[in-house]
Amino acid sequence: MIVVGTGGHAIEVLQILTENGTAAECVFYDDAEIGEPFRRLRVARSPAEAQAELRRDRRVVLALGRPAMRKKLAEAMRGLGGELEQVRASSARVGAYGVELGAGLNLMHGVLISGGARVGDGVLLNTSCQVHHGVTIGRWAEVGPGALLLGDAQLEDEATVGANATILPGVRVGARAVIGAGAVVIDDVPPDVTVVGVPARTVAPRLAKAPFYGRNP
């Protein structure tokens, strides 16, 4: 299978794949500079090399943080014949009733998904985040470590929720919005803005290159 990315998040994904006994099957894909531990692993460096690997095994694992890059590279891999594969840590917990999960998710260690939650394609649910009953998460969104999405909250496509942020019940976060680390969101957030603080307030329109995990600009 192809694992897309060789950055910091890819190291965490590699750890889960190692624990699951599937790391030996992986070929990593990145056209940027590669650091450790990936220099010692198999890496495809071009779309042609990736396509050759996908002819042998069509599975694609996303191992990048930023929503826009997850979307872009997932679409590229699908165009080469790949099929998105979920990565789930052994300690991730998914409710037994009414949960809907899309393709290509990253469910990292300690993730909790409660009954009735719906999670779209390509979403990254990072370490120890919680997705409670009735929550809806759009495609390619990123939920940072320790973040809480409480009952019936809605997170639209490509939105980012920072580490330890809280989205209160029923709150809607618009597409491509960024929620700063530690923020408490009590009101709906429009698309394409950044909010920070307790309670969260708008600080700026979202920049094309938003800070990772939504730290204050």
Q: What is the mean pLDDT of the chain?
A: 91
Secondary structure (3-state) at 101: strand
pLDDT band for 215, please (50, 70, 90 cuts).
Answer: very low
- pLDDT at residue 211 tops 80: no
Name all domains of the chain by residue range, CATH numbers in brackets: 2-85 (3.40.50.20), 88-214 (2.160.10.10)
Please state the rounded mean pLDDT for residues 155-180.
Answer: 97
Task: State how beta strands 83-84 and 87-88 pair.
Answer: unpaired
Query: How many Å apart are CA 194 and CA 202, to the nearest integer?
Result: 6
Better pLDDT: 31 or 192: 192
pLDDT in tens, 76-135: 999 999 999 999 999 999 998 999 999 999 999 999 999 999 999 999 999 999 999 999
Give percent of the chain with pLDDT exceeding 90. 80
Residue-by-residue DSSP string for 158-180: T-EE-TT-EE-TT-EE-TT-EEP
